[in-house]
Structure 1
Amino acid sequence: MTKPPDIGAAEAAPDKLDAAVLKVAGVVVLGAVMSILDITVVTVAIPTFMTDFQSSVEVVAWTMTGYTLALASVIPLTGWAADRFGTKRLYLAALSFFIIGSVLCSMAWSIESLVAFRVIQGIGGGMLMPLGMTIMTHAAGPQRIGRVMAVLGVPMLLGPICGPILGGWLIDSFSWHWIFLINLPLGLIALVLAFVVFAPDQPKPSESFDFVGMLLASPGLALFLFGVSSIPEKGTVLAGRVLIPAIVGAILLVAFVFHALRTEHPLIDLRLFENVSLRYSVLTMSLFATAFFGAGFLLPNYLQQVRGETAFDSGLLMAPQGIGAMLTMPIAGFLVDRIGPGKIVLVGITLITAGLAGFTQLGPDTSYLLIGAALVVMGLGMGATMMPVMTAAIQTLTHAQVARGSTLMNIVNQTAASIGTATMSVVLAAQLNDHDEAKMAIAATVNPELAAQIPPSIVEQGLELAADAFSSTYWVTVVVAALTLIPAFFLPRSKPKAPVDAEAVALV
């Protein structure tokens, strides 16, 4: 009987990423860049949407919230759908959804239609990253996942940095429609390349669909994240709009856990937690994403509210973080495949903690050189942390488990990032609410007409208090980042053995 091609692929695969794998990586990165960019590119368009659609900031914010919730809701389905329909077919379908959603967004005639079309966009965008991870892992084999994940980390770096810059340029030079229309040519190129480059799907008997799990997990995750995402707007966790959906969502998710542990083929395979490496990877990712993405919420707000920078300039000022990550990410990817992720992640988290500590000293006139240096240190740490943790989670999974494992890690990443952003916004709001002068100074910074009506001494004092609020909030991120060292200590510190795929062995 013929031996299946994926048995022993890790040993047979060349040590370096060959041309075939790099082609797959290029297509996946193109799709992931579009998906992640669209999370951040809309931020700079919010004032334009408010003016063009004559709507309030609370309503316009749904252009971001709707996309994020659709993205989060569809992620749990990705693992089952990838097994059922094949990764290539599903990737092409997700990319098509994303392109269609983008074109529809550019044609929106009201804020309600724009929000609806952003949901369609998010359905496609939510599947692109976990599917891309699965496709690249299968193409490279477990022994080269570190370098593959380093490549996939590129869009995660480019999104938060380039999103505001690209969005600002397109809106200023053309119109807001182009922040969506630009996805059409890029998406069509990605669609053609994916069809040509990706290996054909190999049909196999499908598992039964966990319909009950879908009714619990997807709405539960969406409601929980909606409640958490409403905290910045409401300013308190006690608001009904926060508590009710968050509690209902949490109850549904807890019910899903009990259901999944008693179901043979659950929507999200929680039995993967029996894998020690994945278990500690999830804990590490949860704390890391909470600290890192929470901090990512703080700095743009400091630059705009305290320093008076535009969203476009804020994006430029945050570029050093991406530069730092680009320096360490390929090195970390290479070393992970050689010595395992444990030691590398410990170094990365230490650097992130040190970089975050620098922001605890923010003042109203802190040198941009010092801010840039702290961002470089954070970037160096991020490049040695995020994708190595993903690698630690997936490296020891069998071929059949990879789709479910990448889905699980993307859910963890999305949820922790939302919790981190909400937590830091609440802590910051609590700090600012104690000082009316700080809120007045921030209002004057973003409104020149108001600034002319307030004595300069009051504005100066208020900005000092506002900067203190930001620096105090950064201490929370430092503590969470430092706690990340605990689960990271238990990550593998040696080159992993190739996992044995029981199903494939049975076919030999």
Structure 2
Amino acid sequence: MSERTLETLGRRFGPFYRWLVTATAIIGTLSTILASTIVNVALPDIMGAFGIGQDHAQLLSTGFLAAVTGTMLLNAWFTESFGHRATYLGAVALFLSGSALCGFAPNEAVLILGRILQGASAGMMQPLGTQIIFQVFPPEKRGSAMGLAAVGIVLAPALGPTLGGVLVDHYGWRSVFVLSVPSALLGSGLAMVFMPDRAESGPRRRFDAPGFLLLILALLALFTGLSTGQREGWGSEPVVGALAAATLAILGFLLWELWTPVPLLNPRIFAHRGFAGAFAVAIVYGACIFGTTYLLPLFVQTVQGYTATRAGLVLMPAGLIMLVVFPVAGRLADRLPPWQPVAFGLLLFALSSWLLRGVHTDTPFWSMALMVLVGRVGLGFTMPSMNAGALRALPPRFLGQGAGGINFARQFGGALGTNLLAITLERHTELHAQALTPSQDGSGAGTLEFLRQAQALLRQDGVPETETLAGAYELLSRAVAAQASMLGFRDSFLWVALACLAAVLPALATRRKQTA
């Protein structure tokens, strides 16, 4: 048996050890998850550098999140087989390799591959904090510790666009991929000292390779179908085939996990009502935080003309308020039934998204920032109680599966939500453009006045008289496209609000106490 178990390290470093090992896990999580959203403000620059459209650019976000989802369930097997320290160091090595690929990528394919490696490392890293907290803290302190651990998971995506915007404007888009390297190296040094090795000395549990392959196939098929559906047509053979393959792979995965004695995710944990409800909430939670963090920088840059730095600053107040919210939310998680903070937080985020439904080209900076802040406060209240409530509902033998499962749900929701919101944005923008274009045929009073003023401006700029009418119609076309885009963003925020309201139902379903 290893001499670096949690018990021996606890005796060596004293009562403060629980905070040292938790802080080590948070630093690793912060480093890897920071990469999840930091690229969002760089998307316009990357699209220009490689000449790609939004349908390809979204793969930089959804590819990362899908990789996180795919490797999330590996954490339980890695920590049981090799220990927390080896899992941590392996995840950091994978993250640094992905960061190097992204920073020096000669084309979009290499860049997407680097993002997938970064996401795979984040998936292995995230459940570590939850597992450590439930092993080193007594039950009455776990909610407070969860509030602290949530800083790394939620604060990083919130602050990523701000830091990324400064880097993009001053050093170019490639610089965003080196921001997390110093903290990742720091975390590795701390892990060498404070993270425990494998506790058991017996044979390692067999790896569920068929289950993992079915899961990867399901994710690849699902996100391939979703990302190409708008471009190829939802009734096209490739898209229908991909979505059908995803459905079959998901069914195969569930049946296999029920049958195999060493499942990646044991479906029997869903028999515990509290965990099942928290799992459903976590999917919506991930969709909301990652989806809106994708939409907001894109909106203020493409519709309002913000720089990357200013786009990131819109999210800064919301990120900072989390430093205040999380400790409070953690204490509430220890004192209140989990469903109460969870439902309250979801309702706050629904309100924030409903307010964002009214944004337009002239919405002031601080109005945007305050609307975002309200939603992030809501998510801050939701997460500690969601995590603590999910694991409290499970017997000890399922804690490893539960920690991986609840993180899997959040990341799967993030990947799915980002993808669906990108589709919603593109689809609704097209629909609004189709509705607006016929009304701009030059016969309406408003259109005629616009054309007249546009021609006058073009004449002032020295455009020949014979070209002013064509130029005015070009400006009109751009104005219609901008209006359609703005309306598409509004519709997307409305769908986020409706999803949050729907998630209150599974949160309420966890009220009933359940036997072990």
Partner of 1:390: 387
Which residue does 1:413 correspond to in 2? 410
Give the gaps of 5 or more residues in structure 2: 8-13, 441-469
- Count the aligned residue pairs: 475
Task: Give yes or no for the alignment of 1:193 onto 2:190.
Answer: yes
Residues 16-68 of structure 1: per-residue CA shift (max 9 Å, x gap): x9632222222112111221121222334445545666777766655445433
Q: Does the 8 A contact of 1:348 with 1:384 survive in 2?
A: yes
Specify the code of the residue in structure 2 equivalent to 1:382. Answer: L
- Whether the 8 Å contact between 1:65 and 1:229 is mirrored in structure 2 is no
| Aligned pairs (5 A) from 1:175-324 | 175-205=172-202, 206-231=204-229, 234=231, 237-238=234-235, 240=237, 242-324=239-321
Q: For residue 384 of structure 1, report the CA deviation from its aligned partner.
A: 0.7
CA contact (8 A) 1:229 1:418 kept: no
Q: Please give the alpha-carbon distance, in whole angstroms, between the structure 2 residues aligned to 1:185 and 1:255.
A: 41
Cα distance in 2 for residues equivalent to 1:373 and 1:60: 28
1:483 aligns with 2:502: yes
1:101 maps to 98
Structure 1 pair 417/235, CA: closer, same or farther in 2 (3 Å)?
A: farther
TM-score by length of 2: 0.81
1:474 is matched with which residue? 493
State the partner residue of 1:326: 323
Instruction: Verify the 8 A CA contact 2:169 2:307 in the aligned structure 1.
Output: no
CA shift, 1:456, in A, is 5.9
Does the CA contact (< 8 Å) of 1:223 and 1:246 recur in 2?
Answer: yes
Matched, 1:362 2:374: no
Cα distance change on mapping 1:243 and 1:32 into 2, 3 Å: farther
Q: Secondary structure at the match of 1:373?
A: helix
Per the alignment, do residues 253 and 388 of structure 1 end up closer, same or farther by CA in structure 2, a change over 3 Å counting?
A: same
Closer/same/farther in 2, CA of residues 235 and 424 from structure 1, 3 Å limit: farther
Give secondary structure in 1 for the equivalent of 2:73: helix
The amino acid that maps onto 1:487 is P
Which one of the candidate residues 376, 380, 395 is aligned to 2:377? 380
Name the CA shift for 1:237/1:79 in 2 (closer, same or farther; >3 Å). Answer: farther
Greater Rg by CA: 2
Answering whether residue 332 of structure 2 is matched by residue 335 of structure 1, we say: yes
Separation in structure 2 between the aligned mates of residue 289 and residue 54 of structure 1, nearest angstrom: 30
Most deviating of 211-220 and 478-487: 211-220
Instruction: Give the stretch that moved more between structures: 106-115 or 304-313.
Output: 106-115
User: Residues 382-441 of structure 1, C-alpha deviation per residue, up to 9 Å, x if partnerless?
Assistant: 111123212211234344422211211122112222222233333333332133389999
Identify the residue that residue 24 of structure 2 maps to in structure 1: 27
- Cα separation, partners in 2 of 1:83 and 1:322, compared to 1, 3 Å: same
Alpha-carbon contact 1:438-1:462 (below 8 Å) kept: no
Q: Distance in 1 between matches of 2:255 and 2:354?
A: 40
Deviation at 1:224, TM superposition (A): 2.0
Q: Identify which range, 356-365 or 407-416, moves more after superposition.
A: 356-365
CA offset at residue 196 of structure 1?
A: 0.6
1:381 is displaced (CA, Å) by: 0.8
Partner SS for 1:489: helix
Would you say the 8 A contact 1:438–1:463 is kept in 2?
no
Residue identity matched to 1:318: L
Residue 119 of structure 1 aligns with an amino acid whose one-letter code is I
CA distance in 2 between counterparts of 1:170 and 1:201 reads 40
Find the partner of 1:350 among 332, 347, 350. Answer: 347
Amino acid at match of 2:407: N
2:164 pairs, out of 164, 167, 183, with 167
TM-score in terms of structure 1 length:
0.82
Closer/same/farther in 2, CA of residues 322 and 237 from structure 1, 3 Å limit: farther
- Deviation at 1:452? 7.6
Letter in 2 for 1:409: I
Any idea what SS the aligned residue of 2:360 has?
A: coil
Structure 1 residue 103: deviation in Å?
Answer: 3.2
Aligned-partner Cα distance in 2 for 1:421–1:366: 24
Mark the CA change 1:192 to 1:245 in structure 2 (over 3 Å): closer, same or farther.
same
**In structure 2, what is the Cα distance between the partners aligned to 1:68 and 1:292?**
12
The residue correspondences of 1:1-80 to structure 2 (distance < 5 A) are: 19-49=16-46, 62-80=59-77
Identity %: 25
- 1:140 is aligned to 2:130: no
AA partner of residue 494 (structure 2): W
Contact 1:323/1:376, CA 8 A, preserved across alignment: no
Superposition RMSD in Å: 3.4
How far, CA to CA, are the matches of 2:75 and 2:124 in structure 1?
6
CA contact under 8 A between 1:143 and 1:395: conserved in structure 2?
no
Q: Could you tell which deviates more after superposition, 155-164 or 384-393?
A: 155-164
CA distance in 2, matches of 1:478, 1:19: 42
